[in-house]
Amino acid sequence: MGAGSIALATPADPQEETVLTPAARCAAAIEVLADIAGRRRPAADALKDWGLNHRFAGSGDRGGIASLVYDALRRRSSAAWIMGDDSPRAVLLGSLRLQQGLAAPSIAALFNGEGFAPEKLAENEGRRLSEGNLADAPPHVAGDVPEWVLPQLEAILGDELLPELKALARRAPLDIRVNALKGDREAAMPGLAHHGAAPTPHAPMGLRVPIGADGRGPALHVEPEFLDGWYEIQDEGSQLAAMMSGARKGETVVDLCAGGGGKTLALAALTGNGGRLVATDDDPRRLAPIHERLRRSGANAEVRTPRGGRMRTDVLGDLDGHVDRVLVDAPCTGTGTWRRNPDAKWRLRPGSLAARVAEQATVLDRAGSLVRPGGRITYVTCSLLPAENDDAVAGFLARGGGAFAVVPAREVADAHAPGLAEALRFTAHGLQMSPARTGTDGFYVATLTRAG
C-alpha cells in the first residue's frame, strides 16, 4: 500500500475509533457521492444518513469518509475530466489523484475488489489515472466551478482566475480567534500548543491549527479553554471583516444579520464590552446559539429576537437614526467559502443568487435607516461575486440619492488591519479577500458613511 493510502487510514485524533479499511472507506464514499448526486441533497445530510445506516463504523471512519467525499466534491469537474466520466466512482478516483496526490498504483491497491473494497480498477481507469490531465480543460472545469458563474468570477479575479479557483478548491485551514475579553493571544497559545497552533498572518488575535492528513482538524470544541470561552472557531477573513467595522468603546453598534453570533462576539471583544451592542437576525432559529456563545465568552450584547412573522425588523425601531455603526453581514451565496462547503457550489443556481441579491438590498436599506448622520455601515459578504458586492453597494448608493458615500477601502484597511492592504484586491467600492491572496475565505467588505 502506498504512502498516500496510509494517510487515508490515519484518523485526525488517535483516540478516534476506526473499524474500516481505507479501501472500505473509499467504497462508502462512492455510495455517499451517489446519494448526493442521485437525490440532489446536501453532503452533510447524505453523510449523516450513511452513519445512521452503518452504526458499526467508528467516528474515525465517519470522519475519514466525510473527508473523501468533501475532497471529491471540491474537485468534482476536474476529476471527472481526467477520468472521462462523471460517475461517483470516477469522481472519487480522480480526486484521489488530484486532491490527495495518490499515484495510480496506490489507487489500484485500494480499488482491489477484495472484501469491502470497491471493484477492481479497470484497465481504462488505470490509464486515465496515469495519463489524464487538465491541459486542455476549460477554466470552469480546471477551476472546479459551475460554468454559469465563471464570467462573474473572471470579472473580480482577472488574470488570477485559475490560481484563485485552485485555492478555492483546496482544503480550508482551521482558524480560531482568541477572545480578547479573556486574555491575549500569547496567553492562549500554551493551551493550544499540543495542537500546533501558530499565529495567523494578518489578524492579531488569530491562531491557525494544522489539519490532519485526512483534512480534518482536532476537536477543539471539547477543549477546556474553548468551553471557558478563551477562543472561538472563526476564519481569519471573518475576524478581519469584523475588525474593519472599526467598532469602538462608547458606541452604539448593531449587528443586523447576527445569525449564530460569530461576528457579534468579535465586535464585543473589539470594544472590550465597552459599547452598546445590539444583535438581531431576521430568522430567530439562526439566532438561537448566540445566547450560549455570549455566556461562554463573557461578551455583552442585547439580543433582539424577532417574533410575529412579518413584523420582524421592527425590533430595532427605537434605534432608527441613532446607531454609530451597523454591521451588515449579509445573506449571500457563500461562494467565498467553497473550500469549506464544496457541495454548495454545485447546488448554486441563478435563482438563488437573485434571491440573495434581493435580500442584500433589503438589509442594506434597513441599515441605512438605522445609522445616524456621520455613522457608518460595514457591508460584508463571504462571496466573490460582484453582483452581491460592488453591485449591491452601487444599488444602495443609487437608492439613497446621495445620503451615503463610500469610505475608501484602502483607508479602512490601513486603519483597522494594518499591513493587509498589500494582499487585498481593491474594487470600485470595497475590498476583496480571497484564498490565494489573503489565505482566507473570500470576504468582501465595503464601508459606507451617512452624510452628516
* Nearer residue to ligand SAM within complex by CB, 146 or 260: 260
Q: What number of chain residues touch ligand SAM (CB under 6 A)?
A: 17
User: Using CB under 6 A, which residues numbered 411 to 440 contact ligand SAM?
Assistant: none
Give CA separation, 24 vs 14, 21, 32, 101, 306, in Å: 19, 5, 12, 19, 48
Q: Which residues within the stretch 326-385 sit at the binding site for ligand SAM (CB under 6 A)?
A: 329, 331, 359, 362-363
- Known catalytic membership, residue 26: no
Our finding on whether 253 is near ligand SAM (CB under 6 A) is: no
Q: Does 395 bind ligand SAM (CB under 6 A)?
A: no
Q: Is 286 in the site for ligand SAM (CB under 6 A)?
A: yes
Tell me how far the alpha carbon of residue 360 is from its chain's centroid.
Answer: 19
CB neighbour list of residue 245: distance below 8 Å, 6 or more residues apart: 253, 267, 270, 325, 327, 376, 378, 416
Decide: is 282 part of the binding site for ligand SAM (CB under 6 A): yes
Q: Which residue is nearest to ligand SAM (CB)?
A: 262
Q: Of the two residues 67 and 280, which places its CB atom closer to ligand SAM in the complex?
A: 280
At its nearest, how many Å lie between ligand SAM and the CB of residue 362?
A: 5
Residue of 125, 251, 281, 441 interacting with ligand SAM (CB under 6 A) = 281
In the complex, the smallest distance separating the C-beta of residue 323 from ligand SAM, rounded to whole angstroms, is 14
241 binds ligand SAM (CB under 6 A): no
Q: Is 343 annotated as a binding residue?
A: no
Q: Was 61 annotated as part of a binding site? A: no
CB of 366 to ligand SAM, least distance (A): 6
**CA 448 to each of CA 238, 399, 404, 407, 415: distance values in angstroms, whole numbers, following the listed order:** 19, 13, 6, 6, 15
What residues are labeled active site? 382
Chain residues binding ligand SAM by CB under 6 A are 256-263, 281-283, 286, 329, 331, 359, 362-363
Q: Which residues fall in the annotated binding site?
A: 281, 329
